Chain A
Amino acid sequence: MKTSLSRLLTLLSILLFIPLWELIVRVSDLPKFILPSPLDVWTRFIKALNDGSLLFHTSITFVEVLLGLLAGTLFATIVGYMLAKSRTLEKILSPYLVASQAIPIVAIAPLLVIWLGDGILSKVVICALIVFFPVLVNTIVGVRAVSIPLYDLMNSLRATRLQILFKLEIPASLPVLLGGLRIGATLSVIGAIVGELVDAEQGLGFLLQLGDFQYDTSMVFVAVFMLIALALILYGMVTLLERKFIK
């Protein structure tokens, strides 16, 4: 009863957004290239959908985001696990890790595009970099928080290193790990767009820039809404993982 009511409220707030937008357009009387109406955006959306360009560019960005998230998460969990296990390694690597976070990704994105080209690869790497740190930190925190008496239990039962990893460390740190993935998922979308805005021939960032150059503001809106949809899909995927694995 209560959940259906809260769902209704969410739906209502989304539904109210469109008339409010329409109202602002009419009252302010701004030209279409500054603030298009919901109907303008919808028409543009249908047009881009029909000529195939929207799905093409969205899927490019989606692939970049997903590959970047995957690569960044994989790399970050492996490095994070090693850092959690070795204080020495942490002392050696931590200055670089902290320094890497002091550099805004926007500042090194052009470099990466110069080095890796304007194709998908440079964007995947940017996504992976932006995802890396939050997942790394959560992995370290999660693995360090595993209860020491449980290690004693596993050792008293002569568990192997791999058994300790799969039966204790991974399940015990999974909630914190998935928390990191949740942050990483939304950041990854930002990474892809930053990369595409620097230089790209395809992707939602490219579409965004194209719309901007051509005063096709409706197109910019369409691209932004597609980005939101991407982020929501990724967020939903992480939530599904949490529901599946966390009791």
Chain B
Amino acid sequence: MRKSMLSNPALVVKDLSVNFRDNHSTIHALENISFNVQAREFVCFLGPSGSGKTTLLRVIANLIQPTSGAVEFTFDHQPKIGMVFQQPNLMAWRSVLENIKLPLELENVDKDIANQKANELIQLVGLKGFENSLPRDLSGGMAQRVGIARALIHDPDLLLLDEPFASLDAITRERMWMELSNICQAKQKTVVMVTHSINESLFLADRVLVLTQRPGKIKLDVEVNLPRPRQEEMRYTNQFGELAKKLRSAIE
């Protein structure tokens, strides 16, 4: 199922360039990036550090303005965005439940409905019993799960993941891949994720785009036609190995 062949894009990025002004010099972070993301597609950007991956997500999230080019959504409303950051990025003074409810609070959703949705997500990300804990009492993996639940609660049109598992240990990270994969399957989300891990991208994505070193350009666009649900053992298949090799050689 080559989803990108279907012409139902949720997100269209056209000729996107981003420059940053330093004191004296100009840094070209991204140069002429164009791509589409289909509805319910999981797209992963892979690239070395300094390839402008995070900048790309920040432009899509409307946190920074591009120097030229455009990001267009094909929704009939302002797209709702759920973002997961490199660090859990939780509010230290709010409990797990209150942190997860934040996006609904900003939308002035009724309290009872918000509590109910938050409790469902707490169940989904496996944090039952920690509703009233404060972020300082959570492990790194648990905190990141709160971040994921918070990004999902307002039923966003687009999920943006910025190396969400980079700060976790290997075992926790792989468990989180499984969980995220299941959640995205269940919730049918459109996802754009950036990472520098080949394994992570192949485990999660429908499509992987490789960015070059700064200024970031798209070097490779690969379909990941590995069967879902993806399993741990999949990593030892030839198909996986070939894809990984292809991606590896594209990364400088």
| Interfacial residues, chain A to chain B (CB-CB below 8 A) | 147, 149-150, 152-159, 163, 167-168, 171-172, 174, 246-247
Contact = CB atoms under 8 A, between A and B. Distances in A.
B105 interface: yes
A171 B87 CA distance: 20
Given A152-B63, A152-B85, A158-B78, A168 B134 contact: no
A243 to B, nearest CB: 14
Contacts of A163: 106
B83 interface: yes
Nearest to A160: B106
Contacts of A149: 85, 87, 89
A167 B105 contact: yes
Contact of B85 (A153, A154, A171): A153
25 contacts: A147-B89, A149-B85, A149-B89, A152-B58, A152-B63, A152-B83, A153-B83, A153-B85, A153-B89, A154-B106, A155-B61, A155-B62, A156-B61, A156-B62, A157-B81, A157-B102, A157-B103, A158-B106, A167-B102, A168-B91, A171-B94, A172-B92, A172-B93, A246-B93, A247-B134
Contacts of A156: 61-63, 81, 83, 160
Given A149-B85, A152-B63, A247-B134, A157 B91 contact: no
A171 B63 contact: no
Nearest to A174: B93
Contact of B106 (A157, A174, A247): A157
Interface of B: 58, 61-63, 78, 81, 83, 85, 87, 89, 91-94, 102-103, 105-106, 134, 154, 160
A119 to B, nearest CB: 42
A61 to B, nearest CB: 35
A150 B63 contact: no
B121 to A, nearest CB: 16
B106 A172 contact: no
A47 B159 CA distance: 74
A150 B102 contact: no
A246 B134 CA distance: 12
A150 B89 contact: yes
Nearest to A246: B93
A229 B200 CA distance: 64
Q: Which of A155, A163, A172, A174 has the most CB of B within 10 A?
A: A155
A-B pairs with lowest CB-CB distance, top 7: A156-B83, A156-B61, A149-B89, A171-B93, A159-B106, A157-B103, A156-B81
Q: Which of A150, A158, A247 has the most CB of B within 10 A?
A: A158
A149 B150 CA distance: 15
A105 B103 CA distance: 47
A167 B63 contact: no
